[in-house]
Amino acid sequence: MGHKNREIEVKLLVNDIKTLSSVACQIEKVWHAMDKHSEADASEDYDNEILVGNASDFYWNAPKGCNADFGRLRKRSGGGAQLTIKSTDRGDNVNRVEVDVDVDDHGQAYEFMTGLLGEPTAKVTKKYSVFFLENQHTNISVYQIRGDDRVFVEVEAKTLKRVIQILNTVIDSTNYEYSWIKSSVYQMFVQKKQMVVKSVNDFLLKGSNQ
């Protein structure tokens, strides 16, 4: 979820691991051990929580001349839906534009999008576990795309500094080897582009220089 219309996150591939549940179990242990209140914003009344589910996102390519890369419709847990546009305006997917609009009726939102842009370009189904920290914008998510055996971990926060803090905790507290994935879900599973893989150290170096 974008904070002030921006998304700041890093995507990791869990190398040589194909089982979502085993990774989610390890991340949950890390999550329980983390101090989820030291970074909390006193102005936000937010309870730390875990969301587990299996849901489909519909994607539309943005029309030419738009600032957006794509549009997405996501059914929200607990009811309703969310319309999202994202735009890569700073060279990569670490810090990009994300504009979200919550709607009450998923079916009506789907009719709106198909009426405006035609049938979806793709439907991407994701099995996931999301571990929220001090607010709804700060979380660790573990997911697997249907039809693909790779397991991904994403760390999202309001600031790059906080992303790096959480990332270091995840790396230090689990026994996995990770790679930094510079590609987005849209690029890999909608546009079918080859995944761009870099060293996690490259991300940490990039972040420390910003």
Q: Which of 100, 103, 148, 154 is nearest to 126 (CA)?
A: 148
Please report, to the nearest 10 degrees, the dihedral formed by the alpha carbons of residues 194, 200, 205, 210 taken in order. 70
The yes/no answer on whether domain 6-208 falls in CATH 1.10.3210.10 is no
Q: Compute the Cα dihedral for 180, 97, 76, 36 and give only its sign.
A: positive
- Which amino acid would we find at residue 72? R
Domain boundaries, the chain: 6-208
20: how many CB neighbours lie within 10 A of its CB?
19
DSSP assignment letter at 117? H
Q: What is the pLDDT of residues 39-91, one digit of tens each?
A: 666 556 567 799 999 999 999 999 999 999 999 999 987 789 999 999 999 99
CA-CA distances (angstroms) from residue 68 to 172, 189, 207? 36, 18, 25
Q: What percent of the chain has pLDDT over 70?
A: 93
Q: Is the pLDDT of residue 94 over 90?
A: yes
Smallest CA-to-CA distance from 73 within 188, 194, 181, 186 is with 186
Average of per-residue pLDDT across 146-160: 97
Nearest to 138 by CA among 35, 8, 6, 4: 8
Q: What is the pLDDT of residue 120?
A: 98
The predicted structure's pLDDT at residue 209: 67
Give tens-digit pLDDT for 96-141: 999 999 999 999 999 999 999 999 999 999 999 999 999 999 999 9
- What mean pLDDT, rounded, does the chain reach? 93
- Judge whether residue 36 has pLDDT over 80: no
Helix (H, G, I), strand (E, B) or coil at 196: coil
**What would the mean pLDDT of 28-37 be, rounded to a whole number?**
88
CA torsion, ordered 114, 120, 121, 123, to nearest 10 deg: 170
